[in-house]
Amino acid sequence: MASARLATPLTPGLTLANPILSASGTFGAGLEGSRFSDVSKLGALVTKTVTPRPRAGNPPPRIVETPCGMLNSIGLENPGVEAFLRDSLPLALELGPPIILNIGGESFDEFVAITERVQGCGAAALEVNLSCPNVQGGALPFSTDAQACHDVVSAIAVRSDLPVFVKLSPNVTRIEDIAVAAEAAGADGLTLINTLLGMTVDWRRRRPHLGMGAGGLSGPAIRPVALYMVHRVATRVSIPILGVGGIATADDVCQFLVAGARAVQIGTTNFVDPTAITRMVDEIDELLASEGVDVADVWNTLERPDTA
């Protein structure tokens, strides 16, 4: 039974038992993780990105380890929305925690279509993955151009009866500008951050290790960047932020909460230890109890440096 001190209201009508969530793409729909630990303890399960049509993903190799993290180039492999709603979501809903359905698309029209398709599916909220390229002529992804972000989020928000969380890319000059655009368009919350672009190479073979050359860097190596961006955005928006990026311990969780996140998502840590995410629920409860505070007492309480 979750401690009352961990109760985490996200949006009107959606309060989580605790602030520990899985990160999209690292925990499936929770079904595999349930073989290792009691996933019913989690605040919510965030699914792998689901797209309108099935995607085979990128050519292998798709994952390579790096110091303090890993690079991945999965390519949003998934069975498509129809198969997911039929085969996976009903089982995921039986696990207990609210399901946040991560959706993706390659165009404005695809984002609109999948939003309309998943209404009433049983999920508690949507997480919109804006990291896919806009293949209808735009050179920039929705997540790197404020106007493009505003346009697609506005179209999604007006069509969704579910709360809409927008997942943003760190591969921009000023992430807060994109975040402000998403909020103005009607987003109910934000997820920060997605992976940082990077690569490694086999210099003897003169080839990159990943089949696509570059990939997304995740893990503890990016935690300071994620923490910084969460704090920057928290000073500019009023909607809740889900912090993600290299979180591996209860102390990491508290850093994100203090910096401005309402809750956090655990990703790469699941590859190291698939039981860590559920243990973290107890660890954060014990850590806050030792300080005599509730989770709400630490949200967005970071003192700004005195620069006078």
Catalytically active residues are 132
3-state secondary structure of 162: coil
- State both tokens at 156: 């999604």
Backbone angles phi, psi at 9, to 5 degrees: -70, 125
Q: What is the DSSP string of 51-107?
A: -SS-B--PPSP-EEEETTEEEE-----B--HHHIIIIIHHHHHTTSS-EEEEE--SS
Contacts of 264 (CB under 8 A, 6+ apart): 19, 20, 21, 242, 243, 244, 247, 252, 253, 256, 257
- Alpha-carbon separation of residue 248 from 34, 77, 122, 208 (angstroms): 19, 25, 30, 28
Contacts of 292 (CB under 8 A, 6+ apart): none
233 close to 254: Cβ distance less than 8 angstroms = no
Q: Which residue has the tokens 């690079």?
A: 71
Tell me the helix, strand and coil percentages in the chain, rounded to 5: 35, 20, 45
